[in-house]
């Protein structure tokens, strides 16, 4: 069964499996002890640390292993903030960071700290200049992922790191998704990653703190791992994680290696999906991206149903659609980018994915999307442009304007059509909008009443894809009223 969700957790790399089994026999003892078994365990730990440090691009004594990538992020953030508390308490991060960073930011703000969020463009990329503009005298730390977990867009880490160094502010880089493909570039101060993203065992993270970075570990101190991570580490898992990272990096880095091969497969998906499936938006930067990940959104599709149907066809994929989440809230990444969230599919190919599996995915996807749309009663393709192959080929919606003045487009229900989608979840509000848009004259309006949080994101995105004008959002007795003007 093809597994296409390596961005969540990659299958155990064969080298990791071999190292794990071998180290279970050799690495069970306490590496801090001086007897033979302890010395043997210490040698394994030191070798793993050296291999991981080489992959990260730091010194071995700057790197510690943690029980997870999330703990590495949290330890890095709170240790750096504490180390610079005399400077200030402001944390700066991008709007598309992993939830581990966002949760830490929420806790920091709840404790009285300040947080500044930097937006991204439609491809999910932050502008280095906007990060620099967010820096203030009280800024203690900047957090920026090396590449986005959901859409694969690479961030300008090297440029941001140089700006932060010039301002005297440390930069923490979440390198969980990119570390398998290369070291973290630039003069960063802290870096965090998670082994299960690159084919290592779950339960192993790493945190690198470069020399000269003010850092104060939080919580009760321990003599292990430079006092930064308490408790007895899972040495066999650490050894396996380091071994798989080294092996994958070697395979990925060669000319025509695994990174290039997977990039070619992803390029094929990015190109073929919009050709095979109408009304699709491929999101994320088409060039500056991870080699193994592609995300696209299908208009008029229930994301949960789509994922279930793909699973029945034998494909394991992920999604940022709100209708696949118990919170019914669209992915914060897709929301920050301003792109379509309904019918969202993230394909992330693990090491060794056969070309034939990608071809079969492309064969079955059109029929599955068509079947889901048919179940939902989707109308034939409406007026306006066809599907958008990438963010640069789609119209970019303007930010929602202020509430229109009275009479600007007439009273609701008098000038245009009104769609009552209250109590109905994505993608129904957009489907109902598509059904009535051709009933109004060019220049006329359709007002969609909806209490679905995804509508605030998906209706403007639909307008961008279909060449219609998103007039704006009005308050309503229940939910909100979204006004669309027909342009084509």
pTM as predicted: 0.86
- The CA distance from 68 to 320, in Å, is 23
The strand pair at 139-145 and 63-66 is best described as: unpaired
Quote the CA–CA distance of 188 and 109 in Å, as a whole number: 24
Residues with catalytic function: 323
CA distance 447 to 425: 17
Place of tokens 């943690």: 66
Does 403 score more than 70 pLDDT?
no
pLDDT 10s digits, 202-222: 999 999 999 999 999 888 777
CB-based burial label for 462 (10 Å; 0-12, 13-18, 19+): buried
The Cβ of residue 124 has, within 10 Å, a number of other Cβ atoms equal to 30
Collapse the DSSP code of 97 into the 3-class scheme (helix H, G, I; strand E, B; otherwise coil) and give the result: coil
Whether 387 shows a pLDDT value over 60: the answer reads no
Asked if residue 315 lies in contact with residue 307, where contact means CB atoms within 8 angstroms, the answer is no
Report d(CA 174, CA 194) in Å as an integer. 9
Mean pLDDT to the nearest integer, 397-413? 40
pLDDT of residue 26: 86
pLDDT, residue 454, reads 87
pLDDT tens per residue, range 64-116: 999 999 999 999 999 999 999 999 999 999 999 999 999 999 999 999 999 99
For 151-200, the pLDDT digits (tens) are 999 999 999 999 999 999 999 999 999 999 999 999 999 999 999 999 99
Q: What is the mean pLDDT of the chain?
A: 88
328 compared with 41, residue with greater pLDDT: 41
Could you tell me the pLDDT band of residue 341, with boundaries at 50, 70 and 90?
Answer: confident
* DSSP symbols for 387-433: -BSSGGGSPPPPPP-SPPPTTSS-STTTSSEEEE-TT--TTHHHHHH
The answer on pLDDT for 266 being more than 60 is yes
Q: Is pLDDT of 478 > 50?
A: yes
Instruction: Give the dihedral of Cα atoms 439, 424, 323, 390; nearest 10 deg.
Output: 20
Domains of the chain, start order: 14-251 (3.40.640.10), 258-392 (3.90.1150.10), 395-485 (3.30.110.40)
For the range 264-270, what are the long-range contacts, defined as Cβ-Cβ under 8 Å and sequence gap of 24 or more? 265/349, 265/353, 265/355, 265/358, 266/291, 266/292, 266/293, 266/294, 266/347, 266/349, 268/358, 268/362, 269/294, 269/347, 269/358, 269/361, 269/362, 270/294, 270/296, 270/389, 270/390
């Amino acid at each position: 069964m093809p597994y296409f969700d390596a961005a969540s957790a990659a299958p155990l790399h064969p080298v990791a499996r071999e190292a794990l089994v071998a180290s279970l026999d050799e690495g069970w003892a306490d590496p801090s002890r001086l007897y033979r078994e302890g010395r043997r365990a210490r040698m394994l730990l030191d070798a793993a640390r050296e291999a991981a440090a080489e992959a990260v691009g730091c010194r071995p004594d700057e790197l510690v292993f943690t029980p997870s990538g999330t703990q590495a992020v949290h330890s890095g953030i709170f240790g750096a903030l504490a180390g610079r508390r005399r400077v200030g308490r402001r944390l700066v991060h991008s709007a598309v960071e992993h939830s581990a960073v966002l949760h830490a930011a929420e806790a920091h703000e709840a404790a009285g700290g300040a947080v500044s969020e930097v937006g991204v463009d439609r491809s999910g990329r932050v502008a280095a200049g906007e990060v620099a503009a967010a820096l203030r005298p009280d800024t203690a730390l900047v957090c920026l992922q090396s590449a986005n977990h959901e859409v694969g867009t690479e961030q300008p880490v090297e440029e941001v790191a140089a700006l932060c160094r010039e301002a005297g502010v440390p930069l923490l880089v979440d390198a969980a998704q990119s570390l398998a493909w290369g070291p973290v570039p630039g003069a960063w101060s802290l870096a965090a990653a998670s082994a299960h993203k690159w084919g290592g065992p779950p339960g192993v993270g790493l945190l690198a703190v470069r020399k000269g970075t003010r850092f104060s570990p939080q919580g009760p101190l321990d003599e292990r791992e430079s006092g930064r991570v308490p408790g007895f580490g899972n040495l066999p898992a650490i050894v396996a994680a380091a071994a798989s990272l080294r092996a994958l990096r070697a395979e990925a880095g060669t000319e025509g290696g695994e990174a290039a091969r997977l990039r070619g497969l992803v390029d094929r998906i990015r190109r073929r999906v919009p050709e095979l499936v109408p009304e699709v938006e491929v999101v994320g930067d088409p060039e500056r991206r991870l080699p193994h990940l592609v995300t696209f959104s299908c208009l008029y599709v229930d994301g949960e149903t789509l994922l279930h149907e793909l699973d029945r066809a034998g494909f394991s994929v992920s999604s940022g659609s709100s209708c696949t989440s118990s919170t019914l809230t669209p992915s914060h990444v897709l929301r920050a980018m301003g792109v379509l969230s309904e019918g969202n599919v993230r394909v992330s190919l693990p090491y060794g994915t056969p070309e034939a599996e990608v071809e079969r995915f492309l064969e079955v996807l059109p029929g599955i999307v068509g079947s889901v749309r048919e179940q939902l009663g989707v109308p034939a393709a409406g007026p306006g442009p066809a599907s958008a192959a990438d963010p640069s080929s789609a119209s970019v919606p303007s930010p929602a304007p202020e509430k229109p003045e009275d009479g600007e487009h007439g009273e609701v229900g008098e000038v245009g059509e009104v769609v009552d989608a209250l109590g109905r979840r994505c993608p129904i509000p957009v489907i109902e909008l598509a059904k009535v848009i051709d009933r109004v004259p060019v220049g006329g309006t359709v007002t969609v009443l909806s209490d679905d949080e995804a509508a605030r994101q998906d209706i403007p995105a639909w307008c961008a894809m279909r060449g219609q004008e998103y007039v704006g959002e009005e308050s309503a007795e229940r939910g909100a009223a979204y006004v669309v003007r027909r342009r084509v």
